[in-house]
Amino acid sequence: MTTITPAPAPLDPSVDHEIRSIVAGSSVAETCNTDLAAGPWAFDERPGYGPGSSMGDVIPVGAPRQGELPQSYRDASEDELDARIRAAKATLGDRVVVLGHFYQREEVVRHADYVGDSFQLANAAASRPEAEAIVFCGVHFMAETADLLSGADQAVILPNLAAGCSMADMADIDQVEECWEQLADVYGDLEAVDADGLVPVVPVTYMNSSAAIKGFVGRHGGIVCTSSNARTVLEWAFARGRRVLFFPDQHLGRNTAKAMGVPVEEMPMWNPRRPLGGSTEEQLEEARVILWHGFCSVHRRFTVDQIAAARAEHPGVRVIVHPECPMAVVDAADEAGSTDYIRKAIAAATEPTVFAVGTEVNLVQRLAAEHPQHTIFCLDPVVCPCSTMYRIHPGYLAWVLEGLVDGQVHNRITVPADVADPARVALERMLAAKPPAAPAAAWENAS
Ligand code: SF4
């Protein structure tokens, strides 16, 4: 008699399902907030980023609020929303392109025409000039970047206006302008070149910043970077300036500059609430990189203790973390790299491998489902997704798509020309600065 071994059940890539199991008591895992099991519309009227990793961060007073989502979307089941989204997309055809960030929930990503990081998705949007509408399932600064790179007649839509980014919001344009003025008091004329042909300071902003910050950088001879090209961009900046002002993410700036050999003591932090950012004039004179006091609350959750626990439980584990993690975590990991790097590193592993990954849980869980030959888990044992990515729910996606079917454009994101023009200059400098290899493309979703 032949014994048939049942195939292992496919892994469920849905973080939403896992959170609901935790809240229902059928999973022993832990979540950072049981409110995550509710629909995000429960938080549309409340100030704050909502439940998840950023819930302790301070939201700016003027941050956009989402209006009430119609009841029929709030009441619809997962299956009904799935069917409504598919039907609306089929009706719209090539008139719409749906972009899904790596950190989006599975129930949204499955409807995306392209899946990638913010810059890959902005490029994907630019590659579809025939689309009348670009629905960006990501956060606010990503929709702004897509608007910068897409055609003037294309509407970029953010399904939930409350999907900001707590890290991007930590670099407020007024605070950055004030910082620039204070630096001019220390360094003198910020546009004057010295005997070596260098200006005193070059501003560099991470892609994860508002269009206003990108515009500021463009106006002041600076440049944008991504987590994939931060080193190339810093080399570009050091070829033009004595030092760099890097915002908003202190960790990406510190980890990248440290890997380039810049001593940590030459990287003071700029706290916008303190005179001279909390440094002395001497410290600013000695500085090579001035780090804005910003961070990502998702990646700040990863710790050296979690890495030690992973190594103890899984000898030989390969630990890969995102460079938005604190320096001690990057130092303790085996590798650090962007979401695209992490995805490709796992795809390239030919032998069954145990991976402990330090990045957003939706991506980690999806990678685990895509690569059942490997053991892949999130370094953080507490299920705590990005609060702001979480604000995009299939209910909002169905609402904006059905709106388009009815001729209504909900939640259009438009960057004014006086900001967009210099912001594009900063982005173009980044494109010119990158190494000759072609930019990584967003991967086209076959589903
Ligand atoms: S993961 Fe961090 S940087 Fe990315 S959108 Fe969320 S808060 Fe912002």
* DSSP annotation string for 289-346: EEEESB--TTGGG--HHHHHHHHHHSTTPEEEE-TTS-HHHHHHSSEE--HHHHHHHH
Query: Is the residue at 4 inside a domain?
Result: no
pLDDT at site 12? 87
pLDDT, average across residues 205-225: 98
Q: Are strands 133-137 and 155-157 parallel, antiparallel or unpaired?
A: parallel
Cis bond upstream, residue 248 (ω within 30) = yes
Q: Cα of 388 to ligand 1 centre, how many Å? A: 7
Residues 365 and 397 occupy one common structural domain: no
The answer, yes or no, to whether any atom of ligand 1 lies below 6 A from the CB of 117, is no
pLDDT tens profile 278-309: 999 999 999 999 999 999 999 999 999 999 99
The answer, yes or no, to whether any atom of ligand 1 lies below 6 A from the CB of 142, is no
Q: Cα of 193 to ligand 1 centre, how many Å? A: 36
Ligand 1 pocket test: which of 101, 118, 297 has the largest number of ligand atoms within 8 Å of its C-beta?
297
pLDDT tens profile 306-317: 999 999 999 999
Residues 44 and 91 occupy one common structural domain: yes
Q: Cα of 8 to ligand 1 centre, how many Å? A: 34
What count of residues does the chain have? 447
Q: What number does the ligand 1 atom closest to the CA of 139 have?
A: 5
Q: Cα of 59 to ligand 1 centre, how many Å? A: 13
Residues 270 and 203 occupy one common structural domain: yes
pLDDT, average across residues 327-349: 97
Q: And the tokens for 82?
A: 């799935």
Helix (H, G, I), strand (E, B) or coil at 100: strand
Residues 354 and 284 occupy one common structural domain: no
Q: Is pLDDT above 70 for 6?
A: no
The answer, yes or no, to whether any atom of ligand 1 lies below 6 A from the CB of 54, is yes
pLDDT at site 179? 98
The answer, yes or no, to whether any atom of ligand 1 lies below 6 A from the CB of 171, is no
Q: Is pLDDT above 50 for 438?
A: no
Question: What is the rounded distance in angstroms from the CA atom of residue 221 to the CA atom of residue 205?
Answer: 12
Residues 139 and 93 occupy one common structural domain: yes
Residues 128 and 66 occupy one common structural domain: yes
- Domain span at residue 96? 39-164+388-415
Query: Is the residue at 444 inside a domain?
Result: no
The answer, yes or no, to whether any atom of ligand 1 lies below 6 A from the CB of 209, is no
The answer, yes or no, to whether any atom of ligand 1 lies below 6 A from the CB of 298, is yes
Question: What is the rounded distance in angstroms from the CA atom of residue 110 to the CA atom of residue 131?
Answer: 19
Query: Is the residue at 404 inside a domain?
Result: yes
Q: What 8-state DSSP symbol labels residue 67? A: -
Residues 280 and 396 occupy one common structural domain: no
Which residue's alpha carbon is nearest to atom 5 within ligand 1?
Answer: 165
Confidence of residue 437 (pLDDT cuts 50, 70, 90): very low
Q: Cα of 191 to ligand 1 centre, how many Å? A: 33
pLDDT at site 46? 84
pLDDT, average across residues 160-176: 97
Domain-terminating residue out of 271, 292, 313? 292
Residues 304 and 285 occupy one common structural domain: no
pLDDT at site 119? 84
Residues 54 and 105 occupy one common structural domain: yes
Q: Residue positions in the annotated binding site for iminosuccinate? A: 101, 118, 206-208, 227, 322-324, 339
The answer, yes or no, to whether any atom of ligand 1 lies below 6 A from the CB of 360, is yes
Confidence of residue 447 (pLDDT cuts 50, 70, 90): very low
List all residues 6 or more positions away from 165 whose beta carbon is below 8 Å from its beta carbon. 139, 140, 141, 208, 388
The answer, yes or no, to whether any atom of ligand 1 lies below 6 A from the CB of 167, is yes
Which residue's alpha carbon is nearest to atom 2 within ligand 1?
Answer: 296
Q: Cα of 237 to ligand 1 centre, how many Å? A: 25
Query: Is the residue at 31 inside a domain?
Result: no
Residues 351 and 271 occupy one common structural domain: no
Query: Is the residue at 5 inside a domain?
Result: no
Question: What is the rounded distance in angstroms from the CA atom of residue 38 to the CA atom of residue 26?
Answer: 17
Query: Is the residue at 92 inside a domain?
Result: yes
Q: Cα of 298 to ligand 1 centre, how many Å? A: 6
Residue 134 pairs in a beta bridge with 97, 156
Q: What number does the ligand 1 atom closest to the CA of 296 have?
A: 2
* Tally of structural domains, the chain: 3
Ligand 1 pocket test: which of 103, 301, 362 has the largest number of ligand atoms within 8 Å of its C-beta?
103
With pLDDT > 70 as the criterion, what percentage of the chain qualifies? 95
Cβ neighbours of 239 (radius 10 Å): 11
CATH number at residue 92: 3.40.50.10800
| 367, 348 contact by CB (below 8 A) | no
Query: Is the residue at 25 inside a domain?
Result: no
- 343 to each of 15, 28, 302, 349, how far by Cα in Å? 18, 28, 18, 10
pLDDT at site 1? 45
Question: What is the rounded distance in angstroms from the CA atom of residue 43 to the CA atom of residue 56?
Answer: 14
pLDDT, average across residues 433-447: 56
Domain-terminating residue out of 292, 326, 359? 292
Confidence of residue 9 (pLDDT cuts 50, 70, 90): low
Q: Is pLDDT above 50 for 439?
A: no
Q: Is pLDDT above 80 for 277?
A: yes
Q: Is pLDDT above 90 for 444?
A: no
Q: Cα of 83 to ligand 1 centre, how many Å? A: 29
Q: Cα of 296 to ligand 1 centre, how many Å? A: 6
The answer, yes or no, to whether any atom of ligand 1 lies below 6 A from the CB of 339, is no
Residues 358 and 394 occupy one common structural domain: no
Confidence of residue 3 (pLDDT cuts 50, 70, 90): very low
pLDDT, average across residues 363-369: 97
Least confidently predicted of 163-172, 244-253, 429-438: 429-438
Question: What is the rounded distance in angstroms from the CA atom of residue 114 to the CA atom of residue 392?
Answer: 16
| 245, 179 contact by CB (below 8 A) | yes
pLDDT tens profile 395-408: 999 999 999 999 99
Q: Residue positions in the annotated binding site? A: 101, 118, 165, 206-208, 227, 296, 322-324, 339, 386
Query: Is the residue at 446 inside a domain?
Result: no
Least confidently predicted of 90-104, 376-390, 431-445: 431-445
Q: And the tokens for 282?
A: 């001497």
Which residue's alpha carbon is nearest to atom 6 within ligand 1?
Answer: 386
Domain-terminating residue out of 292, 323, 343? 292
Residues 92 and 191 occupy one common structural domain: no
Least confidently predicted of 111-125, 190-204, 429-443: 429-443
